[in-house]
Each structure stands twice: as structure tokens, then as C-alpha cells.
Amino acid sequence: MKKVFTVFAICFFVLSFSFSTTLDFDDLINRLDIKKDVEALAKDIGSVLAGGMFHSGRTLALVPGIDVGFCTSIAMKPSEKNLILQDTIGKKPFGLPYIQLSKGLPYGFDITLRGFPESQGLKSLGAGVKYGIIEKEIAVVKLGLSAMYSYNQLQHSDFKATTNSFAGIFSVKIPLIEPYLGVAVDSTKLETDFSAIELTGQPVGANENKSVSVSEPRYVLGLNFSLIPFTYINVAGTYSVDHYGVDFGLGVKF
């Protein structure tokens, strides 16, 4: 089991670093005066910044009640209105990786903490709280319905983005697999942080830092695989803004 998990972890880190290196925001300073372009960037960032926070509608047990793993949230391409990313990466996939830890708490709550070491000028941190609304067992079938709030932050030398997300999650667990469905609303605030020197010489309207706030629904349909005891792999298809994406994760759960 240890060897299998190590191989998956190595593949995850290689994949995650390859996606984080594709993110390039060089064109942001040239479009500061076009609000809709900055808003389109904020929506796309929010769609991956809030992604991968959940992979089950059930909450963890109180003891030991630990879930630790790696996950990455990927959008298959920038949205049609996101000219800032399109001008730098075209229509390639982009995403963010995370190391994630969840712990079961009393009264049907879970807490989740996550982040990733700084890579290519990007640093992410996040936290979430999930509450189990309904959990039922019918023979070998386990049903779960929960609500989750999460906060995630992405720091870059040119901006800071924060996303508040509210989600509802439903899952059905049978031996070895657990399909899950989630609907979330992501509210993202993006604040640029260019220096006075960088802004010097920019046209009127683009010579000062900007702040935009946007909201967008996100839909998630996924599947957990637990072929080895205490381990899992989860894969989900997502839809947000105007494009599809993928959430992928692997970890151990006790």
C-alpha cells in the first residue's frame, strides 16, 4: 500500500507543478482599465481556488476521524471572456494544487485546512467547515447530505484573490465506491497590487490598482474509489463560468 501511495503522490506533484507553471498573469497590468477583463480573470481564479474542498457528503468520525491527502483543481481552459489568461496560455488547462487535512469534530462538524508551498510566485491557503445534515445507513449503503463553507486565498506578486464558497454535497457510499454531487456558489474578490513604479506610464484608468468582486455557481459530479483499505482516489468533473474542469485527489482516511 505504501508503494502504491508513493507512486500516486509523485505523479500528483509532477502534475500539480506542471499546471501551476502554466499560470501567467503578465497581461493583467495592460488591462487594468477594462473592468470586465479583470472580472473574467477573477471568476476563473475562483473556480479553481475553491475547487477540491470536498469529495463526500458524509462527515468524518470523531475518533480518529482524519483525512489527509493531495488534491488539484483544474479548469480545461480559460473562459471565453478571460483575455488576460488567453493571451498568455491560450486555451490550455490551468489549475492549482493543494495539500489538505480534514478532522472530524463533535456535533457532526468537520474542519478542513489546506495550502501549498510557494511555487512560481503563487501561494495558496484555505480552510473550510462542513456540517452533516443527514447521514443514514441502509444495509451496506451509506447516504450523506452536508453543507460546507470554505475560504481560500491565492497570493501573487501582482494581486491577491480570496474566494468564499458555500456548497451543498450529497453522496451515496457502497462498497469500494462513493458517487457524490455538489453545487457551490463561489464569491471571489481580486485586488491588484502593482507598485507605483509599475503603474507609472500606464494610461489613465490603468494607472491605479483595482479591486473587483464576482460570484459564480459551480457544479461538481465525482466518484471516490477505495480499492485499498484506508486509502482513496477521487475524480470529479466540474462546470463553472463557461468551461469544464476536473478535481482530482488521493489520500488516506481513518
Which range marks the domain in which residue 230 is found? 2-253
Q: Do 188 and 42 touch, CB atoms closer than 8 A?
A: yes
pLDDT at site 18:
45
Query: Number of structural domains, the chain?
Result: 1
pLDDT at site 10:
54
pLDDT averaged over 10-residue windows placed end to end, the chain, 254 residues: 53 50 72 87 93 95 91 91 87 90 95 88 92 93 97 92 97 95 97 80 70 96 91 94 91 90
**Dihedral through CA 1, CA 174, CA 233, CA 156, nearest 10?**
-140
**Dihedral through CA 142, CA 143, CA 148, CA 153, nearest 10?**
50
Residue 41 and residue 150: Cα distance in Å, rounded? Answer: 20
Residue from 132, 97, 79 nearest 20 by CA:
97
Range 64-84 burial, b when 16+ CB lie within 10 A, else e: eeebebbbbbbbebbbebbbb
pLDDT at site 119:
75
Q: What is the pTM of this model?
A: 0.88
Q: Cβ contacts of residue 14 below 8 Å, gap of 6+?
A: none
SS3 content of the chain, % helix, strand, coil (to 5): 20, 50, 30
